[in-house]
C-alpha cells in the first residue's frame, strides 16, 4: 500500500484510544511540545500504550505530522483541546503514518496521540514523530526574525492610545490540577472567591464550576462555628483547564468577637504541583455595613504550563471613584467616539483600561453602555467632565456589564469615557467588550424643537391643532400637581408653556409643556 492516508474505520477504536490517551496523559508529565523540523523519539510498551504530544498552531496555518517506525505499525489521532478529533491516520506498509497539509481553522493547542495500529503484534517498539511546516511559512518566519535596515524617519506625533491584543484562553493539561488556599489566624469571617478566565466563579455560594472547580468549606461563616486555624480552598482536579488570568478576591465579612480588628492572611496558589510565591497581606474591617472591604490578586497560567502570581492590593468600594491614570494622560490619549457607532476593545493584564472622548453641548443627555463579549471581564465605566472631575460611574448595571444611563452633561466641552474593569490595575478579569455612546432616544418634532423650550430630566409635551383650551396636568409621586393654576412644585417641576389658555388662541399648533 502507498503512503496515502488510511483513516481508521472503527469509531469504537477511536473512542477507546482517546479514553486511553486521557488516562495515560494524566499519569505522565506535561505533553511534549512539537517544534517544526525537530523530530522526537518515543516508545510504546505494555505499560505505555499511548503517547501524547501538543502543537501550538495559528488559525489558517498548515501543518504536516509524520510518525515513522520500523518496529511496529503505528497510528495517530489529531484532536483539539476539547478532545474533538479532526483526523485519524495509520501507517502504510513502509511504516509511515503521515497527516499531510492539514489546515488549522482556529488558533490554540492541538494534541497528537500516538498508539499501536489495530492488529499490531507485538504492539511495542520505538518510533519517531516530526512536525513540518510548508516551505513558504518557514521562510516567512525566518524573514520576520531579521531586522530590516530602513532609512531613519521622524515618527509623526499622535495622541491616540496604543491598543494591545488579548490572547484568548486555550485549554492546557495540568496533571496535578490547581489549588488556591486562603489561611488566617483570627476569629474573623473572611471569604475566598476565585474567578477563572471563562468567567466561572467559586465561593461559598457557588461551590462548583463548569471547569471542574470546587469550593471547600465556608470557614467561620456567619461566625456560627469558629475554627482555630481557618482555611478556605478552591481546587481543580487534574485535567484540561483554561489558560489566562485567575482573579482572587478576599472579602472581610465580619469580626466574630466584636472588636473590629484588622486581620493578616496568606494566599497560597499551586498550579500543576508548582507552588507560586505566597501573598501575605492585612485586610481591615468593613467601614460600613453596605461597603465591602476587599483584597484583590490574580495569577496567570500560560500555554507552556508556567504560572506567575500578581500580589495585587486592597480595593475598597470607594476605589471605583479613582481614575486608572492621570486625567491629562487619559484625555490626551483618548480615542474619539461617535454616537450610535459601537466600538470594540479588550481589557487584560497588559491593558487594564481604554479611554474615549467626545464633544458635547451643555445640557446634552447621553447614555454609555459597556458590554463584555468574551472571557471573564467584569466591566467598570467612568465618565469625566472637561475639568477632570468624575461625574458618573457604573459597575455591574446588569450582571457584570456597565451602563451610565441618561447622564445630563452640565457644561459644554470634551468629555472622556474610561472603559476598565473592577479593580482596574489590581483586577484580574479579562475579555473583549463593546462600547456604545448614544444620545436622547426620542427626537422632538421640528415644530417643538424650534420653540427652544428649556430641557429637563423629565419632559411632558401636549400638542393639538384646534382652538380648544386643553389643560395639561402632571402629578408627581408625592401627590403634587403641576398645571396652569399651580405652575410650580416643590419637587422642581415647572410649567413652561400653556397653549390656548383662557381661549387665547396662539395660532398654529398649540403646545403645553411641563418639565
Residue found by looking up cell 497527516 in the block:
99
Minimum mean pLDDT among 187-201, 227-241, 285-299: which range? 285-299
User: Residue 186, Cβ neighbours under 10 Å: how many?
Assistant: 18
Task: Flag whether pLDDT at 514 surpasses 90.
Answer: no
The CATH number fitting domain 11-139, selected from 3.40.190.150, 3.40.50.1820, 3.40.50.300, 2.60.120.380: 2.60.120.380
DSSP line for 207-254 = -B-TTS-EE---TTGGGSS--SS-EEEEEE-SEEEE-EEEEEEEEEEE
For the stretch 87-121, pLDDT in tens is: 778 888 888 988 888 877 777 788 899 988 877 77
CA neighbours within 13 Å on the CB side: how many for 145?
Answer: 5
- Cell digits of residue 301: 497560567
List, by residue range, all CATH 2.60.120.380 domains of the chain.
Answer: 11-139, 324-438
Contact 248, 267 (CB under 8 A): yes
Assigned CATH class of 324-438:
mainly beta
What is the structure's pLDDT at 450?
63
Contact 231, 182 (CB under 8 A): yes
CA neighbours within 13 Å on the CB side: how many for 131?
Answer: 22
- Cell digits of residue 251: 472579602
List, by residue range, all CATH 2.60.60 domains of the chain.
Answer: 171-315
Element of type H or E holding 304? none
Contact 104, 62 (CB under 8 A): yes
Query: Percentage of residues in the chain with pLDDT exceeding 70?
Result: 84
Identify whether 515 is preceded by a cis peptide bond (ω within 30 of 0).
no
Residue found by looking up cell 428649556 in the block:
454
CA–CA separation, 211 vs 455, rounded Å?
52
For the stretch 288-336, pLDDT in tens is: 888 899 999 999 999 999 999 999 999 988 888 899 999 999 999 999 9
| Inter-CA distances, 510 with 428, 439, 446, 475, 484, Å | 58, 27, 14, 21, 14
Strands lying side by side in the sheet with 365-372: 343-347, 431-438, 365-372, 402-408
Element of type H or E holding 192? strand 188-195
Across the chain, mean pLDDT equals 84
Domain 171-315 is of which CATH architecture?
Sandwich (2.60)
Amino acid at each position: 500500500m502507498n503512503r496515502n492516508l488510511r483513516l481508521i474505520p472503527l469509531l469504537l477504536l477511536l473512542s477507546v484510544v482517546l479514553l486511553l490517551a486521557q488516562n495515560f496523559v494524566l499519569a505522565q508529565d506535561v505533553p511534549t511540545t512539537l517544534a517544526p523540523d525537530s523530530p522526537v523519539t518515543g516508545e510504546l510498551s505494555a505499560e505505555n500504550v499511548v503517547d501524547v504530544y501538543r502543537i501550538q498552531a495559528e488559525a489558517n496555518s498548515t501543518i504536516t505530522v509524520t510518525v515513522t517506525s520500523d518496529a511496529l505499525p503505528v497510528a495517530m489521532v489529531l484532536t483539539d483541546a476539547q478532545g474533538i478529533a479532526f483526523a485519524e491516520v495509520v501507517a502504510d506498509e513502509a511504516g509511515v503514518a503521515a497527516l499531510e497539509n492539514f489546515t488549522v481553522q482556529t488558533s490554540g493547542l492541538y494534541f497528537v496521540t500516538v498508539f499501536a495500529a489495530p492488529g499490531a503484534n507485538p504492539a511495542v517498539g520505538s518510533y519517531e514523530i516530526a512536525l513540518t511546516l510548508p516551505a513558504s511559512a518557514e521562510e516567512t518566519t525566518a524573514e520576520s526574525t531579521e531586522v530590516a535596515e530602513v532609512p531613519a524617519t521622524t515618527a509623526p506625533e499622535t495622541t491616540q492610545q496604543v491598543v494591545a491584543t488579548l490572547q484568548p484562553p486555550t485549554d492546557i493539561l495540568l496533571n496535578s490540577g490547581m489549588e488556591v488556599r486562603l489561611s488566617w489566624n483570627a476569629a474573623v469571617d473572611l471569604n475566598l472567591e476565585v474567578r477563572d478566565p471563562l468567567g466561572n466563579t467559586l465561593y461559598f455560594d457557588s461551590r462548583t464550576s463548569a471547569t471542574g472547580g470546587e469550593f471547600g468549606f465556608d470557614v467561620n461563616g456567619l461566625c456560627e462555628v469558629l475554627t482555630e486555624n481557618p482555611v478556605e480552598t478552591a481546587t481543580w482536579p487534574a485535567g484540561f483547564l483554561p489558560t489566562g488570568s485567575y482573579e482572587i478576591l478576599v472579602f472581610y465579612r465580619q469580626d466574630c468577637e466584636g472588636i473590629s480588628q484588622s486581620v493578616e492572611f496568606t494566599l497560597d496558589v499551586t498550579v500543576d504541583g508548582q507552588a507560586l510565591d505566597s501573598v501575605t497581606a492585612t485586610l481591615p474591617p468593613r467601614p460600613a455595613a453596605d461597603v465591602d472591604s476587599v483584597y484583590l490578586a490574580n495569577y496567570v497560567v500560560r500555554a507552556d504550563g508556567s504560572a506567575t502570581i500578581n500580589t495585587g492590593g486592597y480595593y475598597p468600594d470607594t476605589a471605583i471613584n479613582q481614575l486608572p491614570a492621570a486625567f491629562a494622560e487619559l484625555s490626551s490619549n483618548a480615542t474619539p467616539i461617535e454616537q450610535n457607532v459601537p466600538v470594540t476593545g479588550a481589557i487584560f493584564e497588559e491593558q487594564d483600561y481604554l479611554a474615549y472622548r467626545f464633544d458635547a453641548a451643555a445640557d446634552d443627555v447621553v447614555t454609555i453602555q459597556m458590554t463584555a463579549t468574551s472571557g471573564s471581564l467584569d466591566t467598570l465605566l467612568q465618565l469625566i467632565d472637561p475639568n477632570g472631575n468624575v461625574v458618573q460611574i457604573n459597575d455591574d448595571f446588569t450582571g457584570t456589564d456597565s451602563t451610565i444611563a441618561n447622564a445630563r452633561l452640565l457644561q459644554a466641552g470634551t468629555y472622556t469615557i474610561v472603559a476598565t474593569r473592577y479593580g482596574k490595575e489590581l483586577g484580574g478579569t479579562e475579555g473583549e467588550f463593546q462600547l456604545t455612546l448614544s444620545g436622547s432616544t426620542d427626537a422632538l418634532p421640528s415644530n417643538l424643537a424650534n420653540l427652544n423650550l428649556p430641557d429637563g430630566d423629565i419632559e411632558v409635551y401636549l400638542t393639538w391643532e384646534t382652538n380648544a383650551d386643553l389643560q395639561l396636568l402632571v402629578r408627581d409621586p408625592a401627590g403634587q400637581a403641576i398645571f396652569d393654576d399651580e405652575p410650580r412644585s416643590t419637587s422642581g417641576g415647572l410649567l413652561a408653556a400653556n397653549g390656548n389658555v383662557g381661549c387665547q388662541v396662539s395660532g398654529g399648533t398649540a403646545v403645553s409643556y411641563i418639565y
